[in-house]
Structure formats: C-alpha cells, structure tokens
C-alpha cells in the first residue's frame, strides 16, 4: 500500500530486536522504514499514547474449516476474527474436507486468503493421506506449494512406524512435524479429563497418560531421526516435564500452549458446560500450573489458540456428544496478558511467544518490526476492560468459555502491510 503511516507515542515492543520503549513507528509503502526519527511527513497517523505497539501476532494453530465446513468458519470469517484479535498471520490445520493432503488444496487456501486480503494464511500440510495415519503425503510437494509444517492435527499420528518414517523424511528437508499427542486406545470415548470431576458428572474421561505416552514415544523417535518435533497444545505436567528434558538434551523438540490450558481447569466443565469441552481437555490445577511454569522457564516457546469454531448444533447436544473445541483468536491476547499481570512473563517475553518465536520455528518472514520488514503491527491497550459477548464475536463460531466474562486488554488497531485492517472494533478491509 502506498503512503506513509505514522504510529506515534506508542510503547514499542519488538522482542526480535530487543526494542522496548516509547517511540514513533514509521511505515511507508507497506514496509517499516524507521523507529524514532524519520525524514518524512505522515499522510495518516495513529496516536498510540498509553498503548503497546508490537509486531502483528502469529497464531500457529488455527482451524479455518474451509474447504468443506464453511458453515462453521471460512477463510474470510476466520481472517476477520484474527485481525480483530491482533493476529496478522495464521497457520491453518489440515483437517478440512478435503484435507490439506495434496497440493491443490494448499494452493486453493492460499489463493482464497489473498482474495480476502486481511491477514497471512499459511497452510499446515497433512502428514498422512486422508489423516488416516497410514501412508505419508508428498510433504516435499506440499512444502513447495506453501505448507510451512506438517501435522494430522485433530487426529494423532497413531502408528509408530508411520511416525518414524514421517520424522525421518521430514528431517532430511528440515520440516517440522506437529503432533496432536493422544493415544486413542487410552482416550477412546472420553469427553473431559479423567478424574474426580468426570466421575462426579458420570462422563467418560481422557487420562493424562493418553497424552504423556504419545509424547514419550515421539521423543524417542525424534531422537533417533534427529528430527524437528513439535507438541501441539500441551496440557499435562508430565508432558511439559518430558519436553523440558528433551530440550535439555539438545533435541529439536518444541511445544505450544493454548490460553485455555494455562487459564482454566477441568472445573470449568461443572454443570455440563459444553463450551469448556476441548481436546486435549482442560485438566487439573497441577497441570495448569505446570504449563505456566513451562511458559515461564522457556520450555513452552509459543502461545497458540487451537481456534476450533463449531456451529451451535454441534455443541448443544450434551457434554458426551458435543464437538471438541473452542474459539480463541479474539481472546488470545487478553487471556495471555494475565501472565504478565501475574509476574510469570515480562511483556516482551509474552509478545515473543506470539510473534518472533512462532516465526522462527516456522521460518516465517514475520514477527518483527525490523526496518524493511512488512509492516504487520498490533496496537493494544493492556489496561482496557471489555466483556466477552458471544453474539458480538467476529468468528462464525460462538463456542467460548469466556462468554460473559470481563477481559483486560483490548486490541485497538491491527495493521497489515501498512493497511489498517482493524480499528476500534471495526474491520476496515
């Protein structure tokens, strides 16, 4: 976009460049041209006094549902929800219909995202054909067509032999394999975390061992293959401990945490609350604290939402049969800001987990305010409060456990390639 945009008086935090202070940010023709002094005149201005100015957020774990389930979400509605939450780059998971297991679907998604033109959309390709866990996809071809990593998310790569081959093949090209860590033989039929609350509600549970055993198996395979292995939406204290140990050994192991797993516990499902049903499930307070400690000590490098929109009919059918998943794009930032308020992370550390860290893991040219970089910028008021109203959410999915709850932290502007795509609650387009 042509023209010069000045974002003035904001507290600029750019972890990639160790920038943390009040300054002006200058954007010209869609690129960052200066932080501080600049010999030019602004055609447009945003006064960010009292607000944080940071790189556009990156969410590396999003379900956009298109193609195949557009009544739940589509690329346009998902992109609008993203920029409303300050997210300028999203990575979409392959459990669409058809799946992102061949080049044509990846190219279709990228083309559609360019038409919508609100945020970057990077496909994550399937590891196995039809997500069946049996036969590997053409990962090299998918990579050439824009896939930035590989996963069967929504389902685990259950077969150990197939996972070994996937890691060995991915290792030869430097690809990252993302695992939905769940041993289905242990979790089959489960709806929530296995424990006292599942017993109290009379609902089948999903034991933590279902996640832990898969992570343990995969770390052994990743060690043998010298592969890049990433645990999606980690939720157990055992899982965090194993990833910590693997990283201490120097293995190429990484992980992410979803806001709901460090902000909520299994008690949220009391009263048969279907909006608190997700996979992996909300777990115990001990697990929640372990995830927080993993974020604090750097074991968990990324915060990602696992944004999983559903139609109301898929949720309003009882806890046992309701679909897994919640929406998260519009609430990721304020929920995560609680980590700063609690002294777990500095503001710069938090922003790194949603910008430079996922960019580095995925090889994205994003997550920074470096001079010359594409001007993807998020501006937010860390102290502003607002109430979550599912009916006012931009996403087609209204399945959130935060409905009616007060949030602290409000995105005021989202800038994509120098263009204001969101301001004061309205998508500018």
Q: Does residue 429 surpass a pLDDT of 90?
A: no
Same domain, 108 and 201: yes
Tokens of 280: 């992996």
Same domain, 357 and 417: no
What total number of domains does the chain contain?
2
Residue 244 lies inside a defined structural domain of this protein = yes
Q: pLDDT-derived band of residue 202, with 50, 70 and 90 as boundaries?
A: very high
Q: pLDDT-derived band of residue 424, with 50, 70 and 90 as boundaries?
A: confident
Tokens of 57: 């957020």
Tokens of 78: 């998902």
Q: Please spell the DSSP secondary structure of 23-85, one letter per residue.
A: EEEEEETTEEEEES--SS--SEEEE-TTSEEEEPEEEEEE---TTT-TTT--HHHHHHHHHHT
Q: pLDDT-derived band of residue 426, with 50, 70 and 90 as boundaries?
A: low
Residue 368 lies inside a defined structural domain of this protein = no
pLDDT score, position 1: 46
Q: Is the dihedral of CA 196, 216, 153, 344 positive or negative?
A: positive
Q: pLDDT-derived band of residue 350, with 50, 70 and 90 as boundaries?
A: very high
Rounded alpha-carbon distances, angstroms, from residue 373 to 29, 46, 166:
11, 19, 34
Burial of 35 (0-12, 13-18, 19+ CB in 10 A): buried
Q: What is the pLDDT of residues 293-337, one digit of tens each?
A: 999 999 999 999 999 999 999 999 999 999 999 999 999 999 999
Q: Does residue 428 surpass a pLDDT of 50?
A: no
Domain boundary pick from 362, 394, 416 = 362
Residue 221 lies inside a defined structural domain of this protein = yes
Residues marked active site are found at 306
| Whole-number average pLDDT of the chain | 97
Q: Does residue 370 surpass a pLDDT of 60?
A: yes
How many other CB atoms are there within 10 angstroms of residue 114's CB atom?
11
Q: What is the pLDDT of residues 100-126, one digit of tens each?
A: 999 999 999 999 999 999 999 999 999
Boundaries of domain holding 417: 4-53+374-427
Nearest to 128 by CA among 61, 173, 205, 180: 180
Nearest to 402 by CA among 307, 327, 311: 327
Q: What is the pLDDT of residues 5-46, one digit of tens each?
A: 999 999 999 999 999 999 999 999 999 999 999 998 999 999
The CATH number given to whatever domain includes residue 13 is 2.30.40.10
pTM: 0.97
Same domain, 12 and 109: no
Domain boundary pick from 312, 337, 362 = 362
Rounded alpha-carbon distances, angstroms, from residue 377 to 84, 170, 210, 350:
12, 32, 39, 16
Residue 217 lies inside a defined structural domain of this protein = yes
Rounded alpha-carbon distances, angstroms, from residue 227 to 8, 80, 216, 234, 340:
44, 35, 15, 19, 33
With a CB cutoff of 8 Å and minimum separation 6, the contacts of 183 are: 156, 158, 209, 210, 211, 213, 214
């Amino acid at each position: 976009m042509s023209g010069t945009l000045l974002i003035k008086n904001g507290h600029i935090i750019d972890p990639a460049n160790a920038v943390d202070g009040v300054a002006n940010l200058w954007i010209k023709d869609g690129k960052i041209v200066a932080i501080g002094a600049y010999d030019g005149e602004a055609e447009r201005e945003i006064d960010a006094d009292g607000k944080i100015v940071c790189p556009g957020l990156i969410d590396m774990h999003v379900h956009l549902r298109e193609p195949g389930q557009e009544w739940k979400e589509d690329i346009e509605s998902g992109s609008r929800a993203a920029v409303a939450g300050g997210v300028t780059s999203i990575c979409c998971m392959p459990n669409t219909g058809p799946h992102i297991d061949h080049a044509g679907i990846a190219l279709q998604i990228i083309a559609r995202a360019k038409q919508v033109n609100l945020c970057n959309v990077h496909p994550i390709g399937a590891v196995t054909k039809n997500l069946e866990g049996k036969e590997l996809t053409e990962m090299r071809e998918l990579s050439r067509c824009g896939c930035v990593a590989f996963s069967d998310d929504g389902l685990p790569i259950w077969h150990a032999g197939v996972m070994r081959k996937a890691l060995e093949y991915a290792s030869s090209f430097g690809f990252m394999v993302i695992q939905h860590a769940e041993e289905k033989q242990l979790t089959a039929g489960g709806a929530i975390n296995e424990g006292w609350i599942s017993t109290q509600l009379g609902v089948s549970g999903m034991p933590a061992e279902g996640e832990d055993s898969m992570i343990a198996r995969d770390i052994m395979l990743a060690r043998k293959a010298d592969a890049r292995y990433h645990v999606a939406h980690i939720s157990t204290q055992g899982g965090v401990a194993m990833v910590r140990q693997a990283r201490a050994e120097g293995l190429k192991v990484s992980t992410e945490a979803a806001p709901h797993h460090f902000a909520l516990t299994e008690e949220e499902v009391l009263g048969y609350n279907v909006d608190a049903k997700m996979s992996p499930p909300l777990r115990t307070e001990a697990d929640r604290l372990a995830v927080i400690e993993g974020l604090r000590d750097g074991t968990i490098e990324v915060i990602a939402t696992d944004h999983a929109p559903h139609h109301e009919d898929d949720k309003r059918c009882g806890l046992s049969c309701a679909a897994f998943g919640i929406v998260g794009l519009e609430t990721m930032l304020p929920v995560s800001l609680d980590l700063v308020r609690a002294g777990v992370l500095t503001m710069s550390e938090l922003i790194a987990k949603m910008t430079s860290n996922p960019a580095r893991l995925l090889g994205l040219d994003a997550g920074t305010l470096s001079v010359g970089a594409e001007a993807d910028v998020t501006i937010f008021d860390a102290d502003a409060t607002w109430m979550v109203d599912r009916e006012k959410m931009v996403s087609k999915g209204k399945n959130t456990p935060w409905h009616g709850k007060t949030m602290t932290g409000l995105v005021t502007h989202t800038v994509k390639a120098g263009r204001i795509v969101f301001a004061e609650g309205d998508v500018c387009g």
